[in-house]
Amino acid sequence: HVQLVESGGGSVQPGGSLRLSCVVSGYSSHSHCMGWFRQAPGKEREGVAAIDSGGVTSYIDSVKGRFSVSKDYTKNTLYLQMNSLKPEDTAMYYCAADVDYGLGTTVWVKAVLQGFGYWGQGTQVTVS
């Protein structure tokens, strides 16, 4: 039974920082891509950051230089360090995991958004 559990969300002022965690159980993340997604009210879910099985990372333009995604294989945990938070970062944040297709994280993010892979329940981030 695969399970992803996010934590670390909360309310912060603009310019603040948060660190999200996603603990994966049920399988090893070594051969998988993992990523963080977010959905704001009235908007479509979007991929924020992803990391493939080799540790290569990618980010959407709006968070580059502010967010950092990482994995701790020993703890089977995915992290998202978010710095210099802005009100437009307010959203429900989800982590997701699926096999590494070997086609790059851009393709992987699109596939997961179409319903592939495993998802957590989300953690709310509010910046105001």
Determine what percent of the chain is predicted with pLDDT higher than 70.
98
Phi-psi map region of 72: left, alpha, beta (phi>0 left; psi -120 to 50 alpha): beta
- Higher pLDDT: 74 or 18? It is 18
For residue 27, pLDDT beyond 80: no
pLDDT attached to residue 73: 85
pLDDT band, very low/low/confident/very high, at 28 (cuts 50, 70, 90): low
pLDDT band, very low/low/confident/very high, at 29 (cuts 50, 70, 90): low
> Mean pLDDT over residues 26-51, rounded?
90
As a three-state string, the secondary structure of the chain is CCEEEEECCEEECCCCCEEEEEEEECCCCCCEEEEEEEECCCCCCEEEEEECCCCCEEECHHHCCCEEEEEECCCCEEEEEECCCCHHHCEEEEEEEEECCCCCHHHHHHHHHCCCCEECCCEEEEEC
